[in-house]
Amino acid sequence: MGTALVFDEEMTRYKLLWFDPACVIETPERLTVSHEALVRTGLAARCVPTPVREASDDDILLVHSKEYLEAVKKTPYMTLDDLKEFTLNYGDVYFHPNIYHCAKLAVGAALQLVDAVMTGKVRNGMALVRPPGHHSMRSAASGFCVFNNVAIAAKYAQQKYAVQRVLIVDWDIHHGQGVQYAFEDDPSVLYFSWHRYEHQEFWPKLRDSDYDCVGKDKGAGFTINVPWNKIGMQNSDYLAVFCHVLLPVAYEFCPDLVLVCAGFDSAIGDPEGEMCATPDIFAHLTHLLMNLAGGKLCAVLEGGYNLTSLSQSVCLTVQSLLGDPPPRPTDLQGPCQSALESIQCVRSAHRKYWSCLQHAVQRPPSDVSTKLEAHGEARVSKADLVWPQPARHLPPALCTAAVIPEDLLCPLGCFRIPREQDVAVSTWSSLAALVGRLQRNEIRNGLALVSDVSMAMAHVFGHTPKQRVLAVCVGDTEALPGLPEDGKTLTVHFSKEALDKPRCKYYIPVCLKKGLMQAACSLLLPLSYQYDPDLVLLTRVPGSHMDQSEWQQLVGLLQGLAGGHVLVLIQEGEKALVGPTASSLSGSPASSPGPLSAPGAEDIEALERLKYRLTTDWKLLQTSGEC
């Protein structure tokens, strides 16, 4: 199942016609360079081209008032002076005789994308649109936005396809107040936004954008605002918010559809955002959302005003949507003090609404937080505004290799590593061949059914002496091989039975009954990202409490590491998992664990205690600053 790309050149045909310093950055080139970059990199050709359409009045009225729609309808016939005067009704926006037409196409593009995804024509997709939408309100244009493309798309999906829960992730650097207002009392739409805030000094300077605005009435808890109070936020800060706030809540919410307000003014070099996260991070943010809602994800362009960083970020987003492994993450030193304060504040404001955030440890050991360097700065220097050109990567042609017995059908999307005659040595030599092909990047990932996982692990370690291996073990086993404790492997062991205390920084036992997705998001992901392995070794032995969908989610999430190089070892008793594992490894969306997998108090407390103990060594695990 493919990726839709919705685009039409017509949306480049309006521009600012008078002098307005607040609006000069919103140019037609934003769209042309983004689209050209997708064509130049060959990404556009891999997508399913999807035409735009004009949204109907009824579509627009799903969010906007009749009066406002009628007013905008008159703008194509206005003189320049009329347009200027009309513009004065609103903040930081401009009108043009062709903007109404483009605004209808921008909404229509988002709806075409929803149609393509919901009818199963594609798995996911991106719409490149102008004007953006997330600032526009029921009866007002705002911040370059005329109609609220994404808010309309959410209502449309609910109405036309009986979608129940929609998650809207707004990673644009501005607060999409229009989206927030459209759903503030609606528990069926979870709106998440991070935004430059600077204690209400930054546009749109609303009290409503702070962390304690959580939604109203039945919708309380379904608005999540993460204010950035300093500029210069980096990859670590963005990832920390995903791991410790968005993802745990998203898994608990269990959306049927994910919409992204995909603004790239949150990337380095942007004159509005002044943040320092690199375009690479969007490959990861996208990847991390791609297994929610059975993979149904629609990204709709919002802001982004540095043409270089915008077009690179668009490419990296689409690359992930297409299923390519994200590039290795760069400089993850852990979140800065200001980001930690925001994270702590959001988590405590939402504690009463989400069980994954309850029972959190309130106070950090002060030496951990004070030792941290702050990169969130008052000013970002010019020297910090250079970033490397994203590597031109080619995913290996063959994706998933399997070492499985002859009598087992090779799962769809996999190819079998041939075995030698001698049964006794054949598994080991095939496994060695598989590891070699992974190391040479000839294949992306692999799967082996083995009779003894511990021996197989030891065997793999023997063939990867120079590599950093992240070993994730699932199930109750006493007999893990003597693991090297020199930092060449990091082992995280999930079990329902009590395990040893951590022996060293590189062995982390996790004992939980439920709440496995929460542990995957807020413990395993931060550890893994910070460790930055060359290879992920995921093993499964019998006696595990992790169900099939949680397992598939794990397989999906871990493919964001090590350039996608994941090797899964399954012990013979767990044969039933071969098919579902192969399916996730070859890029199919994981099934959803369902809203009932929410963790209990005991598990969350245990998890928080463990995280707390490990924060000194692993900064990305931190969730509190000095509020």
Q: Which residues are catalytic?
A: 135
Distance, CA of 317 to CA of 586 (rounded, Å):
19
Interaction of residue 176 with Zn ion, rule CB under 5 A: no
Distance, CA of 562 to CA of 85 (rounded, Å):
55
Handedness of CA 72, 73, 74, 78 (dihedral sign): positive
Measured from the CB atom, the residue of 196 and 347 that comes closer to ligand X5A is 196
3-class secondary structure per residue, 355-408: HHHCCCCCCCCHHHHHHCCCCCECCCCHHHHCCCCCCCCCCCCEEEEEECCCCC
Position among 178, 219, 303, 587 found at the interface with Zn ion (CB under 5 A): 303
Q: Which of 332, 336, 274 is nearest to 303 (CA)?
A: 274
A 10 A CB-CB count for 221 gives: 19
Question: Which of the residues 494 through 533 are near Zn ion (CB under 5 A)?
Answer: none
Total site size for Zn ion, rule CB under 5 A: 5
Rounded (5°) CA angle 375-377-383 = 80
- Binding track, positions 342-371, relative to ligand X5A; x by CB under 6 A: ------------------------------
- Binding track, positions 238-277, relative to Zn ion; x by CB under 5 A: -------------------------x-x------------
- Least distance in angstroms from the C-beta of 615 to ligand X5A: 34
Position among 8, 170, 172, 256 found at the interface with ligand X5A (CB under 6 A): 172
Question: Which of the residues 389 through 448 are near ligand X5A (CB under 6 A)?
Answer: none
Using the contact rule CB under 5 A, the part of the chain among 64-72, 301-309, 355-363, 504-512 near Zn ion is 301-309
- Could you tell me if 26 and 13 are in contact, meaning their C-beta atoms sit under 8 angstroms apart? no
Q: Report how far apart, in Å, the C-alpha atoms of 506 and of each of 91, 239, 462, 486, 531 are.
A: 53, 21, 18, 8, 10
- Least distance in angstroms from the C-beta of 197 to Zn ion: 13
Helix (H) or strand (E) holding 582: helix 578-585
Measured in Å, how far apart are the chain's first and last C-alpha atoms?
Answer: 46
Position among 227, 232, 263, 335 found at the interface with ligand X5A (CB under 6 A): 263
Helix and strand element counts for the chain (H, E): 21, 16
- Binding track, positions 269-298, relative to ligand X5A; x by CB under 6 A: ---x--------------------------
Both tokens assigned to 130? 């102008």
Using the contact rule CB under 5 A, the part of the chain among 89-97, 163-171, 302-310, 591-599 near Zn ion is 302-310
Phi/psi for 344 (5° steps) reads: -60, -45
Position among 35, 123, 130, 135 found at the interface with ligand X5A (CB under 6 A): 135
- Least distance in angstroms from the C-beta of 149 to ligand X5A: 10
Q: Report how far apart, in Å, the C-alpha atoms of 616 and of each of 100, 116, 604 are.
A: 54, 47, 20
- Binding track, positions 203-222, relative to ligand X5A; x by CB under 6 A: x-------------------
User: Which residue has its beta carbon closest to ligand X5A?
Assistant: 303
Using the contact rule CB under 6 A, the part of the chain among 73-81, 142-150, 286-294, 557-565 near ligand X5A is 142-150
- Least distance in angstroms from the C-beta of 522 to ligand X5A: 29
- Could you tell me if 163 and 118 are in contact, meaning their C-beta atoms sit under 8 angstroms apart? yes
Both tokens assigned to 104? 């209808």
Selection from ligand X5A, Zn ion, none that 6 binds (CB < 5 to 8 A by kind) is none
Interaction of residue 174 with Zn ion, rule CB under 5 A: yes
Rounded (5°) CA angle 431-435-437 = 115
Interaction of residue 30 with ligand X5A, rule CB under 6 A: no
Using the contact rule CB under 5 A, the part of the chain among 104-112, 172-180, 277-285, 567-575 near Zn ion is 172-180
* Beta-bridge mates of residue 228: 196
Selection from ligand X5A, Zn ion, none that 92 binds (CB < 5 to 8 A by kind) is ligand X5A
| Helix axes of 99-118 and 149-161: crossing angle, nearest 10 degrees | 40
Selection from ligand X5A, Zn ion, none that 203 binds (CB < 5 to 8 A by kind) is ligand X5A
Burial class (CB within 10 angstroms; exposed 0-12, middle 13-18, buried 19+) of 201: exposed
Position among 2, 13, 15, 22 found at the interface with ligand X5A (CB under 6 A): 22
- Binding track, positions 75-104, relative to ligand X5A; x by CB under 6 A: -----------------x------------
SS3 (DSSP) at 569 = strand
Interaction of residue 143 with ligand X5A, rule CB under 6 A: yes
Total site size for ligand X5A, rule CB under 6 A: 15
The site for ligand X5A (CB under 6 A) is made up of 22, 92, 132, 135, 143-145, 172, 174, 203, 263, 265, 272, 302-303
The site for Zn ion (CB under 5 A) is made up of 172, 174, 263, 265, 303
